[in-house]
Amino acid sequence: SGCFTFDPGFGATASTKSAITYIDGDAGVLLYRGYPIEQLAEKSSFLEVAYLLLNGELPSKEEFAGFEHAVSHHTMMHESLKHFFRGFHHDAHPMAMLAASVASLSAFYHDNLDVDDPADRKMAAIRLIAKMPTIAAACYRYSIGWPFSYPRNNLEYVERFLHMMFEVPSEPLQLNPVAAKALDLLFILHADHEQNASTSTVRLVGSTGANPYASVAAGITALWGPAHGGANEAVLKMLEEIGSPDNVESAVRRAKDKNDNFRLMGFGHRVYKNFDPRAKIIREMCHKVLAELGVNDPLLEVAMKLEEAALKDEYFVERKLYPNVDFYSGIIYKALRIPTEMFTVMFAIARTAGWIAHWIEQHETPGARIGRPRQLYTGSGVRDYVPVDKR
């Protein structure tokens, strides 16, 4: 009973008002707080973008210095949290370790957190943005049997992360500024994307009054799936499987075959129907970064050929399927020596800024209600219980 709309997959339902990110899917427009993604990608930094998403305005010099100071002084992982890792098998997927570790943050910062207090919410945002790279690097180092690395507060956000990933005590790590800049840019492009599956999950969990660490951990698990953030890992595996430009035609054929589950990973988007503005930036950047790092990856050729073949194929044209943000990002991550299993973790570090900005916005909105979708029941009508010996 009741009157409501049937909208599977929420293709036509706005679940909330939001002032954070704007997407025009037909025009290929993406704005964070009104600023075009192209301008932010060219001129801003990830940490500045995080501030913008959280606060609604770009920071003054002083405001940014204060934010950076706060973030760089909350980067440490509690020593007890490190024991969690010892319980994981060494080949556990880093996303599994990340989701569990972030959920466990609520065990460390829960008791004195009041979700109705703006200062507490801000503190949680800073903690999450600060600790995510530390936990992410720990996931990687645990998987290869290396000791965890301490965050260096004197480094900038992305440099600090790369340092924690790759440093070994005996040799000072020579950070390549091209690599750091490339990663910073990827983080900017992934920082928010309005009500995508993981952000909607964070909001749904947040709507129950759950703490921000639990809410963001739920976002991480939603991101993991190959239809969402897991696509970047899936794209690279797909490109490796295709292996050579010669096999591109048959991959396209398989992707069109409705009896085959194979999809072109990194292709298609619920909202973008002409192009994904992030993909445009990433494609350009991919060429530039590989050239600057002197990397010659044959997978880039496979990707370009695949894009070209799909874009002139009727199936993809009719359905308005274009490369999305994940199509070229993996080739860049690979050039930065980030292992394939860590790709979605990279996405999670960046999207944490968006997730927590949405969680805060939700708590700042008066009269917000618990998220509680309805259903169309398709099961049996009422019937009487039959004792087991009569069934």
Q: Contact residues for ligand CMC (CB under 6 A)?
A: 9, 196, 227-229, 231, 255, 263-270, 319, 321, 324-326
Nearer to ligand CMC, 82 or 320 (CB): 320
- What is the SS3 assignment for 333? helix
Nearer to ligand CMC, 270 or 374 (CB): 270
What are the φ/ψ torsions at residue 138 (nearest 5 degrees)? -65, -40
CB of 316 to ligand CMC, least distance (A): 7
Nearer to ligand CMC, 110 or 319 (CB): 319
- Helix (H), strand (E) at residue 23: strand 21-24
CB of 75 to ligand CMC, least distance (A): 26
Nearer to ligand CMC, 218 or 255 (CB): 255
Beta strand 29-32 pairing with 21-24:
antiparallel
What are the φ/ψ torsions at residue 218 (nearest 5 degrees)? -65, -40
- How far is the C-alpha of 298 from the C-alpha of 166, rounded, in Å? 24
CB of 269 to ligand CMC, least distance (A): 5
Residues belonging to the active site = 269, 326
Listed in sequence order, the residues at least 6 apart from 357 whose beta carbon sits closer than 8 Å to its beta carbon are 20, 53, 54, 125, 192
CB of 386 to ligand CMC, least distance (A): 41
CB of 67 to ligand CMC, least distance (A): 26
CB of 24 to ligand CMC, least distance (A): 16
Nearer to ligand CMC, 335 or 350 (CB): 350
As a whole number of Å, the end-to-end CA separation of the chain is 31
- How far is the C-alpha of 129 from the C-alpha of 66, rounded, in Å? 14
Name the closest residue to ligand CMC (Cβ). 268
CA atoms within 13 A of residue 71's CA, in its CB half-sphere: 25
Q: Is the dihedral of CA 273, 228, 188, 55 positive or negative?
A: positive
Assign 3-class secondary structure to 253-272. Answer: HHHHCCCCCCCCCCECCCCC
- How far is the C-alpha of 298 from the C-alpha of 302, rounded, in Å? 7
Compute the CA torsion angle 100, 105, 110, 112 (nearest 10 deg): 180
List own/partner pairs for 122-125 with CB under 8 A and 24 or more apart: 122/54, 122/360, 124/211, 124/212, 124/213, 124/356, 125/54, 125/212, 125/356, 125/357, 125/360
Nearer to ligand CMC, 149 or 324 (CB): 324
